[in-house]
Structure 1
């Protein structure tokens, strides 16, 4: 079994789905609990001083992401960051928002609603699973039109674990006169410089509860350029008179201890594993895991070639399994009950996949354990 001494994870379970909900190290949870106790000891003092403390935490997180603090706001999650941009950005009537068929479901629905409210339309670009980075960029080049006002693109796709060339896509979009919103939900921590890798994208959102292991409810919205001043929190509060991003630092009586404790998670990974070593290890382990499970299921690796994410990989499931969103959840629960492994089962374009994640607490034995049990489980 893996060494979980630094993590509160149940040692009787194989935790192979870090990419969905993350895992928080004990040191960050202990820091968050101490902050909660401080909050409850004197709520009046706590909330009056909270915006200043949030500002300091925000500056620390921005520095780690290699972006200016004045371009960085904290939000509850990446979807909230996308919704913030969509609610603040004026989409011209009759224009179009370009997304791909790999977009996260909640984001795709949010884009469709925002476009409808503005009298704009949404167009979905199909990207084959086997597309290389160059082919993905070429697909965007062909899809952009003078009517495209906004491109919403994943840096690392959720359901399909693809790594999109967002810097190249941003250059193409800007050349066509469109703004770019990069959904980097899985990018922070998995990539060494996720915002820099997005090039000159107008907006970038990313979760810190996934690969960065921060307490849940911690994400970042980075905005550069004149549109940043038009961004407002989804709920108005007393920070409204302040400029971006300070207006996001004051959120009424919401428990923001996750934001304050997040730097402890980043520091823990650096001190315990080293971020560069952790990323290299996760990438190597994910690649090995993909090979182990592909062999176990006698799957065709060519189906998921192209541009894989570093620490998330896909394994095709037998035909007929997890063909839609609901069926994938049913199968995930079945696998958990039968194998003792928490996994991610995804569905894309009518095809089911096992999505593998790797983090510092995982081992090769975890994936070998799943490989020994999964074929019979799928046949049950």
Structure 2
């Protein structure tokens, strides 16, 4: 929950000509889109910019590719300004997981080969940490952080797993499955004090947080610009500071391999880099149309309202309180507890996502943590109160029936 629950529908954001915000996206109007956080959504103006760039690339590839590193370098300057970092610290990568893989490939075992993660970590990034630990002949230590843990409790849970054998700490800035913050500032400072590298997974942070790297202590930070920033998919930032950044190389060696960090990331052979080049168009669109502070406030209020409306509907259906006490809530994302029998595991949560889209016409995120299933709401400027009211009226009864059926099947001999 947020600190102040929004129970009144926020007034929708409009375009300058009075049209709904959703008119500048190509989202299917036959579906309700309540899951911006998974894959984002690209506004039409950024789609059009990327298509123009692709046309340019295909019209003269021999001119395009030699000039591409310089264009990417100029784009990095624009994206670095959005994140409030220096362009010399920022490399562009396809997504946050790719950035984490770059870091894993660069590091070597120095102590005992142990990597500290949390039980809220994004699955793909945690799997990469496990593979690195196997390569080192070490192991992964998992900090167990209760969903309702406050800053002190979350910090202490992670710090307790850091020891003499720790070679790397990996921690989410905003957790994907549980929509909460982790105290990366304090965790990073403690790891720095012990001389241990820190990788901050900020996949959800760009656009959702005004300045996600402002107070963080880290060696490496990765964040997706194609989520809340609405950039074309395949656009993420890898920000590195300190001496270890000189070890970072793209996952594919190319002709820029001898260049310093981050320039060596600007030359990647024949990859389609139009997503990178079109990213500033998406960021500028939100800024010029509403302003990012206004957009963030709206997303937060809309997620709050959605959680209230849907949580109330579930409570009336089941007779139980479906509100979720998240220790460090984040803007724009909320959890609603699902009835028992639904989404008890990640596999079940993904299957429920697919079924709800197929049968109920709603794109929604379902997650699992500690054997409990949740609906994870993640709002953007194109959402309106009607989206969540529809879910409460049409989807909650169906989910209640699906949960009852699942429990009966589980009890059957």
SS in structure 2 at match of 1:129: coil
Alpha-carbon distance between aligned partners in 2 of 1:338 and 1:297, rounded to the nearest angstrom: 19
Indicate the larger mover: 159-168 or 216-225.
159-168
Task: Indicate yes or no: 2:294 matched with 1:287.
Answer: no
Aligned pair partner of 1:377 in 391, 394, 398: 398
How far did 1:137 drift? 1.2
- Aligned twin of 2:385: 364
Task: Indicate yes or no: 2:185 matched with 1:164.
Answer: no
**Is the 1:328–1:352 contact (alpha carbons within 8 Å) kept by the matching residues of 2?**
yes
How far did 1:120 drift? 2.1
Larger Rg: 2
**Is the 1:304–1:316 contact (alpha carbons within 8 Å) kept by the matching residues of 2?**
no
- Aligned twin of 2:273: 256
How far did 1:331 drift? 1.1
SS in structure 2 at match of 1:264: helix
Alpha-carbon distance between aligned partners in 1 of 2:310 and 2:163, rounded to the nearest angstrom: 41
Task: Indicate yes or no: 2:354 matched with 1:333.
Answer: yes
How far did 1:292 drift? 1.2
Task: Indicate yes or no: 2:175 matched with 1:189.
Answer: no
Aligned pair partner of 1:241 in 243, 251, 258: 258
- Aligned twin of 1:351: 372
Runs of at least 4 residues off by over 4 Å: none
SS in structure 2 at match of 1:35: helix
Q: TM-score, with normalisation over the residues of structure 2?
A: 0.89
- Aligned twin of 2:123: 105
Task: Indicate yes or no: 2:334 matched with 1:316.
Answer: no
**Is the 1:92–1:120 contact (alpha carbons within 8 Å) kept by the matching residues of 2?**
no
Deviations 1:84-120 (A, max 9, x none): 0010011225231100000111111000001111122
How far did 1:345 drift? 0.7
How far did 1:303 drift? 4.1
How far did 1:57 drift? 0.5
How far did 1:305 drift? 2.9
Q: TM-score, with normalisation over the residues of structure 1?
A: 0.97
Q: Which runs of 5+ in 1 are unaligned?
A: none
Indicate the larger mover: 2-11 or 77-86.
2-11
How far did 1:261 drift? 0.4
How far did 1:283 drift? 1.0
Alpha-carbon distance between aligned partners in 2 of 1:86 and 1:225, rounded to the nearest angstrom: 16
How far did 1:327 drift? 1.1
How far did 1:123 drift? 0.4
Cα RMSD after superposing both structures:
1.4
SS in structure 2 at match of 1:269: helix
Deviations 1:63-102 (A, max 9, x none): 1111111110000000000000010011225231100000
Alpha-carbon distance between aligned partners in 2 of 1:275 and 1:129, rounded to the nearest angstrom: 29
Alpha-carbon distance between aligned partners in 1 of 2:326 and 2:169, rounded to the nearest angstrom: 25
